[in-house]
Amino acid sequence: MTTRVLFFDTSAIIKIFLQEKGSDVVKWLIQTKATSRLHFVINEQVCKEFSERIKEFSVSRPHLNINAERILNLFFNHYVGCKFRVIGQEIISNTKEEQNLSIIIKELNLITGKNDWDALHYQSMVNALAFLGGESHPILVSGDNDFVKKVARKGYRVINLNKQSLKEVKVWHNNAFNIDAHKYGI
């Protein structure tokens, strides 16, 4: 049976708590998780970045009335571990070679000190999820257009929160699960 592992980056997690383009998609995916064969993953770096961004936004965007303490409490006590499995950078497969961070930075044309944290997301997606076999695979969920393009060029499926509407994601979801239902006689 096909397993769909949705790998959320920081830009996607922020959309749970701040109303931005793509928030409707992320919230719908979270609601749908209970009735679908979807698994949600974030890496340790997302937790760090999310904390930093929410604290920064609470100061830099006072018009949004962001209660950073409440949001962080909700995220770490309700979403982390319950909705999202947190993974590290290490490989958990003994059949594939671990991806080296410096090679990933070069392959994705990332700049150290500017956007090299994307390499950490990609590395954990490739390394920790390398055990997925057959038709199962990770799908990046992101609102970072540059990162989405780079990951898509590497052959991974993506949900681009800035480009794909809720309607498009629902069609993808329904088609994916109707194919599975037919294939497995469900």
**Integer Cα distance of 153 and 26 in angstroms:** 23
Q: With DSSP H G I counted as helix, E B as strand and the rest as coil, what are the percentages for the chain, rounded to 5?
A: 50, 15, 35
Predicted model pTM:
0.77
- pLDDT at res. 88: 66
- Among 159, 143, 144, 146, CA closest to 108: 146
**Integer Cα distance of 146 and 155 in angstroms:** 15
Residue owning tokens 């999820």: 129
**Integer Cα distance of 131 and 120 in angstroms:** 18
Q: What is the mean pLDDT of each run of 10 residues along the chain (186 residues)?
A: 79 94 94 78 89 93 88 94 77 56 72 69 63 64 90 86 93 69 36
- Among 44, 46, 69, CA closest to 59: 69
- pLDDT at res. 34: 64
| Sign, CA torsion 96/101/103/105 | positive
- pLDDT at res. 130: 55
**Integer Cα distance of 120 and 127 in angstroms:** 10
Set out the domains of the chain in order of their start, with CATH numbers: 4-183 (3.40.50.1010)
Q: Which residues contact 43 (CB under 8 A, 6 or more apart)?
A: 7, 86, 87, 88, 89, 120, 121, 124, 125, 128
